[in-house]
Amino acid sequence: MASKKWSVPMRVYHWLNSLVVTLILITVVLRKTVLDKYLVNGKIQGFLTGKGIEIDKDVTMKLAKIIRSEMWEWHYIFGFVLAFLIVLRIILFFTKSGKLVIKDAFSFLTKNKKDNYWVKLLYLAVYLSIFIISVSGVLMYFYKDLGWTHDTKETLESIHVAVMNIIIYFIPLHIIGIILAENEDESGVTSDMINGGGEDS
Ligand code: HEM
Ligand code: HEM
């Protein structure tokens, strides 16, 4: 039986990964907007002042952080799912569908250069980013258990946040790229990622 372009595990990986990355980004947006600790602290202080109650700002800041941490737990839950998924993707690199991206990305080194090999190089950069963000995230989560200092955790966090930017720029570019491909020479790429597509050439 002819094998499909995308195997079932590759398709499941792609859509689960897209979902989990989106959910993680939502936790980041919430942390930076409605659940920002200064904003929540300001709301608590405003409420207390209205009731004629005075409580030290440092105490209410702790309360603001507790409220935020309820939501931020999801960052860790989805984070561990993302870390599990990238391990799955590494295993998939040893399968026919999974290594397609490497074959196409480095086709410029061969006589059979693919037109859009640079898109595949970008995909490899994204996989590397997801790997780095997962490793730094898991290490930050366990930094106390590993006996590391807060400074080390801060260094990991700066790597984690810098890599996030690559993912943030990638997503809209990826979606625009898919829309262009669907409207030009590669129509059907999205349904291929859903139904597996035809036999790989
Ligand atoms: C798309 C993937 C991810 C993105 C975009 C992302 C984004 C971020 C951002 C922006 C921060 C800094 C928050 C701040 O202090 O302002 C952060 C912190 C953190 N992230 Fe992630 N993250 C991702 C994946 C993960 C994963 C896979 C884990 C692993 C469990 C993880 C664990 C952590 C931890 C432990 C912190 C430190 C939180 C703290 O000290 O309060 N993240 N992440
Ligand atoms: C609704 C949103 C999305 C759609 C419609 C979509 C669609 C697609 C399609 C059609 C492909 C196959 C492209 C090809 O044949 O060259 C693809 C590949 C890929 N997508 Fe997405 N995608 C979405 C979201 C995401 C997100 C959020 C990420 C990660 C942050 C992502 C990462 C990737 C990667 C890494 C590949 C390469 C797969 C491989 O060859 O290993 N996608 N996507």
Q: What Cα–Cα distance (Å) separates residue 181 from each residue in 75, 120, 150, 173, 174?
A: 33, 14, 46, 12, 10
C-beta separation of 64 from 41 below 8 A: yes
pLDDT one-digit tens code per residue, 122-160: 999 999 999 999 999 999 999 999 999 999 999 999 999
Residue 5 has φ and ψ, to the nearest 5°, of -60, -50
| Single-letter residue type at 48 | L
The residue whose CA is least distant from atom 20 of ligand 1 is 137
Tally of CB atoms within 10 A around 3 = 12
E strand or H helix that includes residue 106:
none
Token readout for 166 is: 């690559």
Ligand 2 centroid distance, CA of 174 (Å): 7
Question: How many percent of the chain have pLDDT more than 90?
Answer: 94
Quick one: pLDDT band at residue 120, thresholds 50, 70, 90? very high
Q: Which ligand 1 atom sits nearest the alpha carbon of residue 134?
A: 27
The residue whose CA is least distant from atom 21 of ligand 1 is 137
Round to whole Å and give the CA distance between 91 and 87. 6
Q: Which ligand 2 atom sits nearest the alpha carbon of residue 170?
A: 30
CA-closest candidate to residue 160, choices 82, 103, 69 = 82
CB of 131 closer than 6 angstroms to any ligand 1 atom: no
> Three-state SS for 100?
helix
- DSSP letters of 134-181? HHHHHHHHTTTTTT--HHHHHHHHHHHHHHHHHHHHHHHHHHHHHHHH
The residue whose CA is least distant from atom 24 of ligand 1 is 79
Q: Which ligand 2 atom sits nearest the alpha carbon of residue 193?
A: 10
Quick one: pLDDT band at residue 1, thresholds 50, 70, 90? low
Q: What is the pTM of this model?
A: 0.95
Ligand 2 centroid distance, CA of 155 (Å): 30
pLDDT one-digit tens code per residue, 72-111: 999 999 999 999 999 999 999 999 999 999 999 999 999 9
- Could you give the residue ranges of the DSSP H alpha helices within the chain? 8-32, 37-50, 57-92, 100-105, 117-141, 150-183, 189-195
